């Protein structure tokens, strides 16, 4: 079991996110603190924070995907231990891990995710054994929904939906003041709902026509190629020459960049992207009837106007329910961390 060295929380809090090395003797904490983890396939973010939502320290590390699952788990425990050593174990309330799904909450494991080559990652058992305190697991989009509901734009509301548009697309729903989890913790996986019944593009999960297959950061190049192939020569002729046609390496960021320069083809791609996102969020609106939808993730946070404007303009064409307030999350990249932090202090939010 890891031994941690304590520091005075009142001193640590004044240092912001600057790393602080404590003395050798534990000092009584002014208030309880907890650890939160935002786990990705290639990156892990860990924070130490208070029950008021104050992040005291935060660290980011790269993750190495090795052949052995145990090596991957060891990287998680090492990252948590490095930040947790600043706190006396008796002063630490708990640990919550926010992770991409699918999950099995009963086993505390990540299972069969498309981002990892492991059938199962028993992350919670590993953390409990290593640190001797309670640990919890939650879908990363569900954690972000909790963060938004407890500390962000959804504070004081009972029906909140959080959407992430990043490498993938995910969602988390709070309905009537309760986080929806589902039988294994994978409710509101809206990125894997079908928005194109013709199934022209295949999702990373192997199914066809999913929202994520068209509108995620990883898939926007495929959508770009699909649209270009769909134009006949007469339609292509007046379009500006795109980076795709020139055979240059391109990504979602290139499409957004070219659109800001006025590239007519890139603008057509964003028009279709906005239409498809509006369909996806209309489905969210009709399924969950939220008062507010907040959107995060790298694609949205880096291109807020280009993502948000067509959604607001076109959702009403597809939704039967009243269109809710839709905005970019004010919590930025920290929505998931803050939600996991809230759960560490109040596991009842996920029924634990």
pLDDT per position as a tens digit, 317-326: 999 999 999 9
pLDDT at 120: 87
State the average pLDDT over residues 313-340: 96
Task: Give the separation between CA 46 and CA 50, rounded to whole angstroms.
Answer: 13
Which two three-digit tokens encode residue 197?
A: 């019944």
Q: In this predicted model, what pLDDT tens digit does every residue of 99-124 receive, in sequence order?
A: 988 888 888 888 877 778 888 888 99
Q: Which pLDDT score, from 0 to 100, does residue 199 have?
A: 94
**Residue 125: which residues within 8 A CB-CB, separation 6 or more?**
108, 109
**Helix, coil or strand: residue 2:** coil
Question: Would you call 341 exposed, middle or buried from its count of C-beta atoms within 10 A (0-12, 13-18, 19+)?
Answer: buried
Centre a 10 Å sphere on the Cβ of residue 37 and count the other Cβ atoms it contains.
28
Structure confidence by residue, pLDDT tens digits, 165-175: 998 999 999 99
| H/E segment holding residue 162 | strand 160-165
Instruction: Give the per-residue pLDDT at 231.
Output: 80
Residue 327 has pLDDT above 80, yes or no: yes
Q: How far apart are CA 297 and CA 174, in angstroms?
A: 18
Confidence bin at 215 (pLDDT 50/70/90): very high
The answer to whether 35 and 338 have CB atoms below 8 angstroms apart is no
Q: How confident is the model at residue 235 (pLDDT cuts 50, 70, 90)?
A: confident
**Average pLDDT for 120-133:** 88
Q: At what angle do helices 264-288 and 220-230 cross, to 10 degrees?
A: 120
Does domain 153-330 fall into CATH 1.20.1280.290? no
- The pLDDT tens digits for 1-10 are 333 333 333 3
Fold of the 9-139 domain: Nucleotidyltransferase; domain 5 (3.30.420)
- Measure Cα distances from 206 to 114, 192, 199, 213 in Å: 9, 10, 11, 10
Interval 37-56 mean pLDDT:
89
Which has more pLDDT, 261 or 237? 261
| CB-based contacts of 206, cutoff 8 Å, min separation 6 | none
Rounded to whole angstroms, the Cα distance separating 165 from 37 reads 20
pLDDT of 287 above 80? yes
How far is 240 from 275, CA to CA, in rounded Å?
Answer: 21
Q: What is the CA radius of gyration of the chain?
A: 21
Q: Kindly compute the dihedral angle of the four CA atoms of residues 277, 253, 335, 117, in this order, to the nearest 10 degrees.
A: 90
Question: Residue ranges per domain, the chain?
Answer: 9-139, 153-330
CA 200/CA 208 separation, integer angstroms: 7
At 208 the pLDDT is 95
Better pLDDT: 128 or 16:
128
Residue 241's pLDDT is: 67
pLDDT value at residue 267: 92
How much is the pLDDT for 236? 76
Give residue 89's pLDDT. Answer: 56
156 pLDDT more than 80: yes
Q: pLDDT value at position 137?
A: 94
pLDDT of 334 above 90? yes
Mean pLDDT across 242-250? 64
Average pLDDT over residues 276-291: 97
Q: What is the mean pLDDT of residues 70-75?
A: 90
């Amino acid at each position: 079991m890891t031994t941690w060295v304590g520091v005075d929380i009142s001193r640590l809090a004044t240092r912001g996110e600057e790393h602080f090395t404590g003395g050798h003797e534990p000092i009584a904490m002014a208030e309880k603190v907890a650890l939160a983890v935002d786990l990705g396939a290639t990156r892990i973010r860990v924070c130490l924070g208070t029950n008021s939502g104050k992040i005291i320290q935060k660290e980011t590390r790269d993750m190495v995907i090795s052949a052995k699952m145990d090596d991957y788990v060891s990287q998680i425990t090492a990252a948590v231990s490095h930040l947790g050593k600043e706190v006396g174990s008796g002063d630490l309330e708990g640990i919550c891990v926010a992770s991409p799904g699918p999950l099995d909450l009963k086993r505390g494991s990540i299972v069969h995710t498309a981002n990892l080559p492991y059938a199962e990652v028993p992350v919670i058992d590993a953390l409990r054994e290593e640190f001797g305190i309670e640990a919890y697991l939650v879908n990363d989009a569900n954690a972000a929904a909790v963060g938004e509901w407890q500390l962000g734009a959804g504070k004081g509301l009972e029906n909140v939906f959080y959407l992430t548009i990043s490498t993938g697309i995910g969602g988390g729903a709070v309905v009537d003041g309760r986080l929806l989890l589902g039988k294994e913790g994978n409710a509101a996986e809206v990125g894997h709902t079908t928005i194109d019944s013709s199934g022209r593009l295949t999702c990373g999960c192997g199914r066809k026509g999913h929202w994520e297959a068209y509108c995620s950061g990883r898939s926007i190049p495929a959508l770009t190629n699909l649209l270009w192939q769909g134009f006949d020569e007469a339609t292509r002729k007046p379009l500006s020459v795109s980076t795709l046609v020139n055979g240059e390496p391109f990504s979602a960021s290139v499409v957004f960049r070219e659109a800001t320069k006025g590239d007519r083809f890139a603008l057509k791609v964003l028009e279709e992207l906005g239409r498809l996102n509006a369909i996806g969020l209309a489905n969210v609106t009709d399924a969950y009837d939220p008062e507010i939808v907040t959107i995060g993730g790298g694609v949205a946070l880096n291109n807020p106007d280009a993502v948000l404007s067509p959604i607001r303009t076109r959702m009403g064409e597809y939704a039967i329910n009243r269109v809710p307030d839709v905005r970019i999350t004010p919590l930025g990249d920290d929505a998931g961390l803050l939600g996991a932090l809230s759960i560490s202090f109040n596991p009842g939010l996920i029924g634990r």
